[in-house]
Structure formats: C-alpha cells, structure tokens
Structure 1
C-alpha cells in the first residue's frame, strides 16, 4: 500500500495538547472542523503540506478547546464536585436483566440525584451566606464603600445577587443537545434503547442515544434552578424574619413547601442511562404526556413560583431594622440541615451500591482476563466518588466563606461556652468545623503519602531488576548505564502508584464519613442560635474528631486544634484559588495542564445525568465529529485506509467512535492506541461502558487491526489487550487478545528495539536504548506518557496495524 493510500489520524489525550505537539511539527494549518472541533495537518514555513516519510497523510484531531480555551471554561474548574457526582452515575455496575439489580440501580441513581441537588443547595447557601450575612449584614453598615447606601436596600440587593449566582450556574449547565424524544427507538425488556445488532460491540458507547444526551437533562436543570432560587428566597425571608416558622411567615412557608416538592421530583426523575428502567405500562404516547405534564411544566412552574417568592423576599428585606436585629443565626440551622441530609444520603448510597454489586457480581467473569478489568473497590466506585465530591463541595464552600470572613475580619462574638469563654463565629458552626475536619484529612493524606513512599522503597529492588531485564542486550549486558537504569526503576515505581488509587480513595472516604458523623452528632444540640454550652460533645477521645477552631480544654489541646484548623482553612482557601488559577492556565498555557486536568477531562466526557451544572459534556461533540470524519474518508474515491491513533483520553474517544460505526463503515479502518487507560482506569471506573467484553468486541469487529503501545514508565496508562504478564526474561508470557482469557501464551521479543509483543499489546522501552558504540541516537530523557511517535516502534506499529494478518510475530511475514 503506497503512502498516498492511507491516513494517520492522531487524536490527542488529556491536558489539551496543541496541534503542533500532536503533529510534532513547528507549523500546522487547520483543514477541517470548526472553532472547537478542529483537524490540522503539518505545513512548512511556506504553507505547503508536509506528509509522512512514505507520502501518507498525517492529520491531527484537536478537541482540547472543549475543556480549555476560554474564561467561561476556566470558571468550570470551580464546579469540579458537580462533575464528579455526575460521573458517578456512569460508574455504577451494569444492572443487567435481573429485576432486583435494576431496582438497586434505580435507587442508586435516585440517591445520586439527591446528593447532586444537595451540592447545588450547598453552593447556593454558601453564596447567600457570603452576600447576605457576611457582606450585607456584617460588612456593609461599617464600610466606606456602602456607608452612604440606604441600609434598607442592602440586604434585598444581596438576595437578588445570590439568585443571579444561581442563574449563572444554570447557564453553565447548558449542553450540546438533547435526545429528540419523538425519535423512534426499539423497546427491549421494557427499556427504550437503540438497537444493537448481533456481533456489534456490547457497550453503551456504541449507541447513538448516548451522544444525544438524556431527555431529562433540561428538566433537571430547571429543577436545580428552581431549588436554588427557592433556597435564596427562604434565606432572605429568614434573614429579615428570624421567627418566621413560629409566626408562619407566608413567604418562608411557601418557599419551604415548594423546595420540598422540587427535591422529591428531582430525586424521582427518570433513568439517565436508559439501561435500568422498569417495564412501562401503557403506550409510549401516554408516557410522553405524563412526562411533559409532571416534569416539563411543573419544573417551569417551579421556576416561576421561585422567582415570585424571591421578589417578595427581596422586597420584604427593605423593612428590616438591622440595628435592632441580630445576624441571621438561623443560617446555622440551614447549614446543619444540608449536612445531615447529604450525609444520610451518602450512607444510604453506600448500602444501595453494595447491594447492587452483590446482585450483579456473578456476571463479571472469573478468568484472569476478566479479573484484569475488575472495577475499582469491588464496584463501589460510584459511592466513593460521590462521597469525595460531597466532601470537596463542603470544603470549597467553607473555603469561600472562611476566606471572605477572614479577609474582612467579620467574625462576631455572640456566643459563650459553658466555661464562660467568648466565642468568635466566623461563618457558621458547621462551616467553621469543616476547616478542622479538612486539617485532619490532610494529616491522613500525609500518612498515606508516607506509606506509599515506604511501599515504593520496599519495591525498589524489584524495580531495578525489572529495569535491568527490560534493557538487557542479547549478550546479557546492559543497554543502558547504571544511572539510567536507576532512573528507569524510579519511574516504574512512580507509575505503579496509580494502582493505589482505590486504596487511598477508600480510606479517605471512610475517614471523611466518620468525621461527618461526628460533626453531625455534635451539632445536633445547638440549633436556633443557642449557646455552644448546649451543644453535644462526643465522649472521650472521640471529641477530637469534631473540634472547632475555638475549642476549650487544656492549653495543649487548644493549641493543636487551632493549628489543625488553620492548616485546613488555608488548605481549602489555597485549593479554591488553585482551581481558578488552573482554569486560567487552561486558557493561556494549554500545554501545561497536568494532574488535576486529567481528572477534569475524564469527568467532562460524560453527559449530564444527575447534575446539570457539570461541565459541558464534550463526548456529544468530539466522538460524533470523529465518527463523521471517518465516514467522510470512507466516502472518498478511492477510499484511503485510515489508522486512528488515540492517545490517553483520545483512545476512549477513538474507541467510542469506532464502536458506534456501522459494520460496513469499519472496512479499511484500523486502531492504534498508545498511553491508553482502556484497561488500567476506564473499565475499573466505568465498568458498564468499558470492559473486557467490549474491548474484545471492538478488537474482533476491526479484524484484529488494533495495536496498543504502552510503557512501564507511564504514570497514567498501561496495557490494554494483555494481562497477567510473567517475570521479565526471554520466555515472558501473558494472556492476551484474541482468546487466551484463562491462560498465558508466549510473548515475542524484538531485539532491534527491545519491545515485547504481548499479542497486539506492545510494551515499548523508555528511553529508547540506541546502540552506544555506533552512537546512532541520543538518550536524553524519559518520555513516559507522551510522544510515542518519536520511538522506533511507531513506524512498525503503523505498518502492522494496516495489515494485521499479513505479518507474523516481530514483523516477519507469515510463513517467512
């Protein structure tokens, strides 16, 4: 096949790599796409297109602007908890055909939607606390900036400003499109899903419905907006009328009742993935009518009611006499209520997730191949990630409120302990204690990091031996110097740290849940602005789990607690500032995004399911655009052979695009993945969408035209098509596709480059060990997760993947 007959189409991964980096050329020009979804080819300084060594087209698909490139997307970085809890829906194990498993799946989804709504209300409450309590109530009367402003309007304007914050979040939640509910879909076992033909990949990523989004997403956005505005209206009514419950204030009562109804509707809203719905009775038309009446119009009506109540609340604030009124101490009860509701939902979610795992665990398979793709934490990933999102949301809310209170010195001395000690309240008792809890979490993190370091040191000898075996020459001598072997051994140990993610996440969540329970129990006794002397204290040493920064007791306990609380407070404030700074660097320095942005790009892939304020899901555009580009190439005359080269997150995009193509459209298309997480992360976190069966199906429908490259030094990726690798040496074995799910077969060692071929999974060396005596190359650094095309195995992989059945092991022709 001549070079002009084929196309090398590269898809970049996380961190928004610029087109010049993807093509490894200083100049490039856009040849297709639009402002966000772009296709580039390399050119020289005169603008003439540069091609590959044999004349083939080298093209780059750049999707990085979907997650970086504007100030609006920089603001999304603050919404990281929303994106995490939204992605948790897709981390649930597949429900399968069993009725009980589908019930548990639906219950998990309902609890996730409840937790997501609590996060929205918490952020809204934090914004109201800052604007209404801290700024309008405490700071504005004595400030030079607002001293001449009529005091009767300050609180009302703060209420309106808080509602505007909720509306900004609502606008950020817009997606790229939704499902047309009128589009016909086949009904299978009571579920309305796209038809999947026999022999097609068994993954929801192969269905068009996944990339059209959830029909309930706009309704969910409206309900979240209504709930947020109703919360602001309640806070405004409570601020100007602290005895509203006793006196039955109409605005406060109406806002509370409407908020409860919105919470119930949100929790019971649909099945986002369309994979676990119970059988529906009646005709589809009747179901649509019910859906529109109960969800669409009720959600819109709730927004209208919320706006009216907000206006009444803001207008009523003009009559408040702040000189005679106390600060809105009832806000403390709102914070406590959000804590209790969210904590109870997370505990129930843990039990429901466990029940779902126990009901479907038998379908995961018991072969070594299936075990290599087993989910994180035995399938409890959704619960763990939702809990981390909740803890992070509480922490960031506390950081914002504590930062403003500290900056403007707005603490109030209105409470007294049982010992007669005056107490400064910075924000609310709950948020003040959150700083202390996060300080304890940071100490736990330091212990975990120390343990990970000790674990790495204990394995250093094994890593040195593995590095020496990988770089052994044919005569048994080393192909790298001792210093380089030590560098490679350290890189291998660092790369292995990704295997500790589930352990660290589980310990963090369990400890955070313990702190949350301790905090809830301690705050149960101090409601309605009562003195701290009436608060409940935990017995004995357990009291140290929930100490505020103004603790009482011995001098040592007070000093340690203050230090821990300060560490937590400043860590939270720094984290909030770092999120904004990282989002800003995503605009100005696309190539510098790293670890945090890896998480961001992963969670932003998933459509809105349980939280409508999550980042805009780019999968609805980039996977569809890549699929359309491949179809365009296949319609060309003559149609070229296309090799899709997916790196990191780009491998998931390529996987989804190829799985969604029709069978006849895959002819003449091959797949080369490198630095991919299609085994080490994606199936463990999203077991229904990426798993061994789905990977095997795509490998089969491509006719084996799929090769994966990985490095032992890669900290983010690993093997995809192989598992259970044997000891380093000339007779290395592994299980690999196709087949061999329960056994091991010999690997192939290629002496010229030092790579190991585990079937279609190639482990390449890093750094490339050029011949030292001939000086035919330079060893300057480790490439780790990037620049696979700079290695000598890249050209071999492209040649092999274009004709997988024409070559034997090591690149030799079959029978040769």
Structure 2
C-alpha cells in the first residue's frame, strides 16, 4: 500500500448505544451501510487528516425501550453465561471440557423446566382448578380471568391450564427463532463450513475461529430439544394428574421421551436426526395425555390443591436440582481419576492463568440462575393467587417457605457486601495510599513547563504545599484522596465473586429448608417478602427502562447486560440474543471492503467495542488494520471471568495494536503486553486554572477528549513503509456489501 493511501478511521463505541453524532463529533454525516439497528456512518469532512467512519451497534442492545423486555429472560441469560465461565484448566482437559459443556446444557434445561413448573402451578393448579372451581367475579379482572373457563368440568379446566403452559413454551421457542434470524442477518464467512459441526463453545480455535459467532445450528438444535423436553414433561404432568386406567403407560412413555431429550442434550451433535421425530412424538403424546385428562375428573387434596400436584412439584424440583448441580459430582470424579493416575489431564505448566481465580464460576452462575427464576416466579405465583382472592394455602407451604430466603437473604447479603466495599473504598483514602499519589504528581509537576505570561498567573497546583490555609489544605487533600480511592475502586470488580458465592449458599439453605418443610417444619413467609418477590420482574423491566434514559445509569447497566448477551447461545437457546453474531461479521466485512479499495484502516474502539473489534481482527490475522483500544475490558473482565476463551493465545494474534488505559478505569485496563499497553495518567497533571474545578478524573469515559492519546493514535494511523498496491476489485461489489447513501 503506498504511503499516499487514504486513511480511514473506523470508530466503535462501547456500551450505552452512543449516537452517530456523539461518536463522530459532528452532525454532518451520512449512513453508508446497515440499518437502523446497526450501521456504519461516515462524516462529511475529514478529521485530523483522515476519513472517519463510525459503527453504531447500540440498537441491538439498548437503543429501543421495548428491548428491555429481554430482562424477563435474565435467568436464561445466566444459564447460558455459566457455560462460558469455564476455567482454562478445564478447557485444556478433553474429558473435563466435554463434561463441562454437557453439564452446562443440562443445567440450562433444568432452568427451563423450573420456569415450566412455576407456570404449571399457576396455570393448572391456581387458575384452572382452584379459581375455576369457585370463581369470584366481584371485579372486572376476575371476570376476565374466568371467561376462558366458563362452567367447564375439572378435566377440561386442567387441559386449559396445560394449554397455557404449552403456549408459554412455544412462545419462548418462536422468540428464539425470531431473534436468531434478526441478529444473524450477516453471517460469518467460512470457506469450509463442514470442518466442525459442534457448538461455538467447543471450537478448537476458541473465539479466533471464523465461525465462532455463527450459532444458528446450535440454537436451532437446542431450541428443539428444550421444546421436546418441555412437552414430554407436560405430558408426564397431565397423565399423572388424570390418574386412571392408562396413566401408567402414558407416564412411562413420557419419561422415556424426557430421558431421551436429556441424553441428546448431553451430546454435542450426536443423534441430531432424532431431534425432530422426538419433538413430533412429544407433541403427539401431549395431545393424547390432554385427551385423557379431558375425560378425567381431578379432585382436591386436603389443602384444596389439585391432587398429585404436590408430588409433581417436589419430584420436578429435585430433578431440577440434579440437573443444575450435576457438574459437581461429574467434574469431581474426573478430577479424582486424574489425581489417582487412572487418566492424564492437561499438564499444569501448559495452562497459564493470570489474575484472580474463580474456579467455581460455572456452578455459581448456574445456581444463581435457578435462584433468580424462583425468587421472581414464586412471588408472581403468590401474587396471582392473591389477585384471584384465593386463600394463602392456595400455594404450597413448601414453596411459600422459600420466598423469604430467596428475597430477604440475598438482599441482606447484597447490603453487607456493599457496606464492606464502601469501607474498603473509604480506607483507600488513607495516608499510605495518598502518599504515593502526592509523590507521583509532585514529580510530574516539576517536569511540566510553566505556561507563558500572562497565563502563568492563573495556574494553580492541586497538591497540598506548605503555607496554605487549613481550608485549602483540606480541599487539596480531598482531591488526593479521591485519586487514591478511584485507583483502588478500579480493582474491585473481581470481588463480585464473593457476593455470588453467598447467593449460592442461600440457594443451598433453601434446598435444606424445603426438606425441613416437607418433614413437617413450620414455614415462614412474611407478607412484605412475598409482595417484594412478586415485584421483581416488574422492577427489573422498570429499572432497565429508566436506565436507558440516563447516560450514567445506562453505562453501569449496559456493562452487565452487554457482557451477558455477548456470548453465543451455545447452552441455553431461550437466552437473549447474542449481538456479537451480527456485530463481528459487520466489522469484518466493512474492514475487508475498505482494504480492497486501497484504504489504510485504523480501528479505534472503546470499552465493549474493543472486545468486538479485537475478536473481529483475531479471527482474520492476515492483513489486519491498525487497532487502538481504550477502556478495554479484554483482560480485566473477560480474561478473568472467561479465561478459557479470552487469553494470551487469542490476543497474540493481534498485530499492530495499542491499548490505552487509566489506573482509575473501573472497567478497562491493560492487556498484559508491553508492546501494546500504553498507560495514561489520570488526572493528566495536578495543574488547573484558578476559579475552575480541580483536575477532574477521566475514569472510563474520558478517553475521547484525551489529546495525549489521540496524538499517539495519529502516529499509529500514519502509513507505514511503502508496500505493493492492493489490487482494486474488478468484479461488481456483492449486493450485501453495497453501501447505501441515505442521510441519517
């Protein structure tokens, strides 16, 4: 490429859905590629001597207020995320890694089954049987709730409730398919698509595989298996509730189908041809069981619930516990076999792991998903019973007993955790931490040349010096303490593992409490805890809806949400869609098109955008453009939480790269390469202008206005030594790559 080649700077924003105006720094721009969800925008005039484009992908995560409804699938997101929090040691061990993936998919189905169990209790027992038996039509809402039931007998009412559960399952399946088509509009290019047919989590090259972000086949397979398993379980429920002459054959057949589903879930690709027949068989069995239940006459037990529902709830709940906890005995057995010398694992020397360890992450995150679905679901269950004016015993005491533990105990743990972190934050402003700050900025102040008159008279130093009044001394010391505390705060992120471990402990106590309640213990369920649990789904949606309208709140909420939805749905098909399945191929195609047309490209990416840009380039190491990242969570967050996928081997594929970071950045940080990392001071210096605020902290969002960083990016963007000119494309541009010249 000749030195006179045009330079194009491609900017990629982080979380929060930055607008093209803000990202380009001008309103004079045009959309040249993409759509309203994600697209490329080009400024009409050059900036800093180069053409500037922006890739705005916020429409896939936070720009639309209706997209906050994805928060209702939060437990499924955790179930999917649990599979990706694999340790580097587990991935290096072939047996352990295969078992980890199998257990991750089984745990994900367990959480789906948990939701179906709660929906069955609400639809069949509370609404169809108890409310339909003696409907209270004193309010408009109760008349509406009774309208589908009318004067039906108990059998038809049971089938009506089961139909609602089936509709819920079908809705989740259809929603996953709709999201799959929408978010995979741009598929990754692969010259050999048949080389590997496993899920993205099992690809040998990890995130560097060009087909990593193409999860269509995996989502399709897992979605059908969850559909088949859910229908088979529903057939079990109907046949058990309608106990009669043929209930046992129906029960056994449904159990066989459910076991077959679990077996196929545990395998990566084996038996794929059996999945569709399994779905058809499960659907037919549900219809047969529904016809049998229609002719039956279920009766109430001593508490007024539909007979046999208590046994169904208990047996299903223990099945869920087994599925979610299966990884514990399975991986422990593999580890014991390795320690006993019966089998060989990965040598410890070949597994490099920097930073804090979190070996129990897959189990903790999976159990947290189960806890979250029960905390919200049980509260909703009790709320439905109350709205229908049913007595307290309408919901089993065994389940009501869980609500205080699932709501109050996690809330108490969170408060304690925040108090401890607040104490650590306050202690970080002590003399031992401020002394190095004062020494650092004193040395930097001495090396800073004084401005020319008359501006030198307005220059002030934020450092405490002798001879100033007590009030000014305290003000300057507050500034030094704020810098010290911000630097310590930047390292607090891994502490979240302690809070999550505590929440898992709560889940263990809940399981023990269920057994105590079944054995005759006294349940405890204060009304305010029940009400609070019922408000969790509504509060979650309201929180995200409010957060999208508040830049600061959107940044914090966006970090958690964008990390959770970054990974492909290789473990739970009903999780919120993976935006990277479109964003990464988008970037790759645009960069390739610019290179083919003779441009020298420099990708400038912030925060979560740096993860998208880095992986887009790592998958195509040949002919990479220059890359500048800042506020990048690649190692600080992703390398810690997902060490099996984001590690030195992947980052080593990136070539011409500079990574900028502040010591006060609570999200981004260094990537551990001396030739790449460029630390920047924050604040830049202790000098400030009289009458203005003291030097502010840039933290995570101040990079865009840091002239020192942009000066280095300017040098990075300059063409290197002359190289052969890239050939211009001779054939017409493909239809999907044709830029659209539509004004924004």
Instruction: Give me the TM-score of the superposition, normalised by structure 2.
Output: 0.80
**Alpha-carbon spacing, 1:487–1:337, altered in 2? closer, same or farther (3 Å):** same
**Counterpart in the other structure of 2:24:** 23
Residue-by-residue CA offset, 1:517-549 (whole Å, 9 max, x unaligned): 4134325xx3xxxxxxxx255xxxxxxxxx632
Note the C-alpha offset of 1:312: 2.2
Matched with 1:336 is 314
Q: How many residues align?
A: 670
Task: Name the SS for the 2:629 alignment partner.
Answer: strand
8 A contact 1:194–1:208 mirrored in 2: no
Separation (CA, whole Å) in 1 of partners of 2:29 and 2:552: 16
Counterpart secondary structure, 1:681: helix
Tell whether 2:32 aligns with 1:76.
Answer: no
Which runs of structure 2 are paired with 1:375-454 in the superposition (5 Å)?
376-377=357-358, 379-412=359-392, 424-427=393-396, 429-454=398-423
What are the residue-to-residue correspondences of 1:671-686 with 2, within 5 Å? 671-686=627-642
1:125 and 1:232 in contact (8 A); partners too? no
Q: Residues 60-108 of structure 1: CA distance to partner in whole angstroms, max 9, x if unpaired?
A: 111122223457633321111211221222222357897xx21222222
Match of 1:304 in 2: 283
- Quote the residue 1:327 is aligned against: 305
Query: C-alpha deviations, 1:17-44, integer Å up to 9, x for none?
Result: 33333234456432211232211234xx
Partner of 1:269: 267
Partners of 1:780 and 1:264 in 2: how far apart? 61
The correspondence for 1:737, drawn from 674, 678, 687, is: 674
Whole-angstrom CA distance in 1 between matches of 2:394 and 2:440: 61
Separation of aligned partners in 2, 1:381 and 1:768: 37
| Matches of 1:304 and 1:335, distance apart in 2 | 22
| Structure 1 residue aligned with 2:701 | 786
Q: Does the C-alpha gap of structure 1 residues 801 and 778 become closer, same or farther in structure 2, counting only changes over 3 Å?
A: farther
Q: Which has the higher contact order (CA 8 A, sep 6+)?
A: 2
Partner of 2:736: none
2:98 is the counterpart of 1:127: no
CA contact (8 A) 2:299 2:307 kept: no
Deviation readout 1:384-405 (Å, 9 max, x if unpaired): 2222222222222223213323
2: CA distance between counterparts of 1:173 and 1:84?
16
- 1:354-403 Cα deviation digits (max 9, x unpaired): 6778876744668xxx55x34631x3322222222222222222232133
Displacement of 1:621 in angstroms is 1.1
Distance 2:357 2:75 in 1: 20
Residue 674 of structure 1, CA deviation:
0.9
Mean Cα deviation higher: 471-480 or 14-23 = 471-480
Q: C-alpha offsets along residues 163-189 of structure 1, whole Å, 9 cap, x if unaligned?
A: 1111111122222459999955558xx
* RMSD value, Cα: 3.8
Instruction: Give the CA deviation at 1:659.
Output: 0.7
User: CA separation in 2, counterparts of 1:106 and 1:785?
Assistant: 38
Q: Where does the alignment leave 5 or more consecutive residues of structure 2 unmatched? A: 339-343, 448-459, 464-475, 722-744
Distance (Å, rounded) in 2 between the aligned partners of 1:355 and 1:320: 44
1:535-550 matched pairs, under 5 angstroms: 535=519, 537=521, 548-549=523-524
Pairs within 5 Å for 1:149-548: 149-152=150-153, 154-174=157-177, 175-176=180-181, 183=192, 185-186=194-195, 203-213=205-215, 215-239=217-241, 241=242, 243=243, 248=247, 251-266=250-265, 268-270=266-268, 291-295=271-275, 297-309=276-288, 311-312=290-291, 315-316=294-295, 326-353=304-331, 362-363=347-348, 370-371=352-353, 373-374=354-355, 376-377=357-358, 379-412=359-392, 424-427=393-396, 429-461=398-430, 462-472=432-442, 473-475=444-446, 479=462, 481-509=476-504, 511-523=505-517, 526=518, 535=519, 537=521, 548=523
User: Residue 708 of structure 1 contacts residue 720 of structure 1 at CA under 8 Å; is this kept in 2?
Assistant: yes
Q: For structure 1, list consecutive stretches of 5 or more residues without a partner in the other structure.
A: 43-48, 197-201, 272-289, 413-423, 527-534, 538-546, 551-561, 722-735, 739-759, 807-816
**CA shift at 1:453, angstroms?**
2.5
Q: Is 1:605 paired with 2:606? A: no
Once the two structures are superposed, what CA deviation does each residue of 1:421-452 show, in whole Å capped at 9, x if it has no partner? xxx45355235424334322322332222222
Q: 1:302 to 1:86 in 2, by over 3 A?
A: farther
Query: Does the CA contact (< 8 Å) of 1:410 and 1:426 recur in 2?
Result: no
**TM-score for the superposition, normalised by structure 1:** 0.73
Q: Which residue of 1 aligns with 2:81?
A: 87
1:626 counterpart residue number: 587
Cα distance per residue 1:204-228 (max 9 Å; x no partner) = 2221221222634312211111222
Is the CA contact 2:79–2:365 (under 8 Å) kept in the aligned structure 1? yes
In the TM superposition, residue 110 of structure 1 has moved relative to its aligned partner by 1.7
Equivalent position SS for 1:173: helix
CA displacement at 1:115 relative to structure 2 = 1.2
What residue in structure 2 maps to residue 727 of structure 1?
none
